[in-house]
Amino acid sequence: MKKILLLALFSFCLTSCSNDEATSNDPTALNVLQKGTSNSGSTSTDYLVSVSQNSDGSLWTYIISKNPETKAKDLGHYIINLNNCGNESATFANIVYANVNGYPADLTANEGQGTDCDPQAITNNFIKINVEGSGPWVIDIKFERGYEAVISTSWIKAGNSCSLGSVLAPGCPKVPYCSYSQGFFFANGALNNGATNLWTNGLTIGETTYTQADGMHIWNIDRGYGGNQVLNGFFQLGAVRLSDAEASVQLHVDIIEAYFTAVGNVLDYETTSNGKIYFRLPAEAGGITASQVAKAGGAIGKFIDENHCN
C-alpha cells in the first residue's frame, strides 16, 4: 500500500516567499529561487500536487492537477531535483521506468534553452518529464532501489512561465540491502540455518508459489545433474526475493520473472532420460531467451557476493 507523504497545494516559493520558507540552505539556491520566480506569471495556488511512494521507496507517484479556483494553464513539463544525497543521490540512470497517465513517459535529464526554467543553475542531476493535455497528470517513476523522502526543488513549466518551488523527492537510499545466497535457501543446510523462517509464505516466481520443500527438490535435482544456468537464474531470483532485496537488482529480476511467468511451474518440466532426472526448460519463453536469464542470474549472483548478509 502506498504511503501518502504529501497532499498540499503546489508549494512554490514565489516572490512572496521569504528566505526562511525556502527549503535549501544553499545561498545560491535561494537567490536562484527568487530570480526564477520573479519572472513567472504563476501563483502558489495554481496547481495541486500529491506525492506518494510505495513501501520500499522505489516507486514514486506525483499527481498534479489544476486548482479549479484559478485559471491555471496546461503543463508543458515538470522537473524534479534528484541531487539530494551527495554521491548516493538517485540519478537518471537509476530509473527503471516512468509513466504519465499509464503511458511511457517522455523523460530526459536535460533542459533546453529559452524555457525560463534553469535547473542547471542548482544541479545537473534532475529529471524532466514532458506532459500533454489538460490534466490531471499522474507521473509514476520507478527506481532500482528505495529512497527516503526529502524536501527538494522542483520546476513546473506552464505556458510562457516556469515556477520553482518545493516538493518531496528521493533523498538518501534506504538501509542498504543485503541478501543471503541461493545455497542458504535451497541447499540441504537450509533446514538448519534459519532459512525456514524466511520461507513462511513460500516463494512466488512467475505466478507460481513454491514451498521450501519444492525449492530444495528443484535444487537437488538440478545440482545432481550438473546444473542448469536457467535454473541458476531461478535460484538467484529466489535468494534476493526471500531476502527482500530484489529492488536493488530490479532490472535483472524483471527479466527472470518474465521468463518464468511464461514457463509456469518448473516442477512440470521434470524429465527422466537415461536414468538421469533433470528439468527440460525451454530455450525461450515470454520473449526472453535462456541466455538472457542466465546473464541476469549471474548479475544477481554478483550483487549477492558483494552484499551478502552476515
DSSP class of 177: P
Radius of gyration of the chain (CA): 24
Q: What's the pLDDT score for residue 161? A: 80
DSSP class of 169: E
Burial 93-132 (b: 16+ CB within 10 A, else e): ebbeebbbeeeebebeeebeeebbbbbeebbeebbbbebe
Confidence of residue 7 (pLDDT cuts 50, 70, 90): very low
Which phi and psi (to 5°) does residue 150 adopt? Answer: -135, 160
CB-based contact 179:237 (threshold 8 Å):
no
Classified by CATH at the fold level, domain 3-173 comes out as Immunoglobulin-like (2.60.40)
Distance of alpha carbon 303 from alpha carbon 178, whole angstroms:
9
Distance of alpha carbon 95 from alpha carbon 117, whole angstroms:
22
CB-based contact 195:184 (threshold 8 Å):
yes
Tell the burial category of 6 from Cβ atoms under 10 Å away from its Cβ (0-12, 13-18, 19+).
middle
Give the DSSP H or E segment for 37. helix 27-38
Strands (E), 82-143: 95-100, 103-104, 106-108, 126-130, 137-143
Residues of the chain with CATH 2.60.40: 3-173
**pLDDT beyond 80 at 98:** yes
pLDDT (tens digit per residue) in 223-244? 866 568 899 999 999 999 999 8
Find out whether the peptide bond into 136 is cis, omega within 30 degrees of 0: yes
Which phi and psi (to 5°) does residue 85 adopt? Answer: -155, 40
pLDDT (tens digit per residue) in 58-89? 999 999 988 877 777 888 889 999 999 988 89
